[in-house]
């Protein structure tokens, strides 16, 4: 499918954009004609991602930053620098996040706090900073990364599904609040996706996981990125407040 003009003239920020689903979103947005800023956790990972992009697409209009997403002042400064560099901000993808698998009995309170800081507070911080710019421009699109566990929960690591339930709540509430400013807010809820973590699993484990999925396989990062692209584009101009599952109808 030719997506070369779907985001022509638009500028985007993708948090957690250095690898996995986030990196695929960055690539898809660039293919669709957007100017993109990827946010990473540190300079080394940002530089590595930018080098990979530039080696494949030397003309890509892309840059990278690494603000602490839990610090609103840093986030606001970074978001403003994107506007200064590219002239506007049309799309925000809140993709950065961390997961957890610890039993409640072993879960350290500081680890629970950390997951809330990156998975929830960062979404609030980035959305607040971006929405101020989008409102001035007359609109924009925010896409949050949720998860299938925001619907089903999971048997350990309660901080992760709790954080994604919160992301869903932010998505639905901000869609209602920001609609008057023509800012659409949606979320994508991926199922098991072939990220680095899944790729490192033994084949028999991946096959066992796949057997619970009606489509018979795990998802690919590019497939999640396609859903994000749709929600970011004008094709979804009347779609807001939605949690779009991209999970192959996973049976939990």
Q: Residue ranges of the domains in the chain? A: 11-193+220-246
What is the SS3 string spanning 154-217? Answer: CCCCCHHHHHHHHHHHHHHHHHHHHHHHCEEEEEEEECCECCHHHHCCCHHHHHHHHCCCCCCC
CB atoms within 10 A of CB 230: 17
Instruction: State residue 70's pLDDT score.
Output: 97
The tokens for 195 are: 């990220």
Nearest 5°: the CA angle 229, 147, 127 is 60
Q: In whole angstroms, what is the distance from residue 26 CA to residue 54 CA?
A: 12
Distance CA 22, CA 145 (A): 9
Q: What confidence category does residue 1 fall into, taking pLDDT thresholds of 50, 70 and 90?
A: low
Average pLDDT over residues 172-194: 96
Q: Is this model's pTM higher than 0.75 or not?
A: yes
Which tokens hold the place of 191?
């199922």
pLDDT at residue 196 is higher than 80: no
Residue 165's nearest CA partner among 120, 127, 112 is 120
For residue 202, the model assigns a pLDDT of 72
- In the predicted model, what is the mean pLDDT of the chain? 94
Q: Does residue 252 carry a pLDDT above 70?
A: no
CA gap 8, 234 in Å, rounded: 11
**Proportion of the chain above pLDDT 90, given as a percent:** 85
Task: Name the nearest CA neighbour of 220 among 196, 194, 201.
Answer: 194
Residue 9 is predicted with a pLDDT of 96
Q: Which residue numbers are catalytic?
A: 160
Q: Which CATH architecture has domain 11-193+220-246?
A: 3-Layer(aba) Sandwich (3.40)
Q: Would you state the structure tokens that stand for residue 214, as one six-digit string?
A: 């009606």
Max Cα–Cα distance, the chain, nearest Å: 52
Q: How confident is the model at residue 133 (pLDDT cuts 50, 70, 90)?
A: very high
């Amino acid at each position: 499918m030719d997506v070369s003009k779907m985001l022509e003239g638009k500028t985007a920020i993708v948090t957690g954009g250095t690898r996995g689903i986030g990196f695929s979103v960055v690539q898809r947005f660039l293919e669709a004609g957007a100017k993109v800023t990827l946010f990473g956790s540190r300079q080394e990972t940002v530089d590595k991602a930018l080098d990979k992009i530039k080696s494949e697409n030397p003309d890509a209009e892309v840059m990278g930053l690494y603000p602490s997403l839990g610090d609103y002042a840093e986030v606001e400064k970074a978001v403003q620098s994107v506007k200064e560099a590219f002239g506007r901000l049309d799309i925000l993808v809140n993709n950065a996040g961390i997961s957890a698998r610890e039993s409640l009995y072993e879960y350290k309170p500081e680890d629970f706090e950390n997951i809330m800081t990156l998975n929830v507070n960062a979404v609030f911080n980035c959305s607040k900073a971006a929405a101020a710019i989008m409102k001035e421009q007359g609109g924009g699109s925010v896409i949050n990364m949720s998860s299938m566990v925001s619907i089903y929960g999971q048997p350990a690591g309660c901080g992760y599904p709790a954080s994604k339930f919160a992301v869903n709540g932010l998505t639905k509430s901000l869609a209602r609040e920001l609609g008057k400013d023509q800012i659409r807010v949606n979320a994508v809820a991926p199922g098991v996706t072939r990220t680095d973590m899944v790729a490192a699993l033994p084949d028999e484990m991946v096959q066992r996981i796949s057997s619970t999925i009606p489509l018979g396989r795990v998802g690919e990062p590019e497939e999640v990125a396609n859903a994000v692209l749709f929600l970011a584009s004008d094709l979804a101009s009347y779609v807001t407040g939605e949690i779009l599952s991209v999970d192959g109808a996973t049976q939990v």
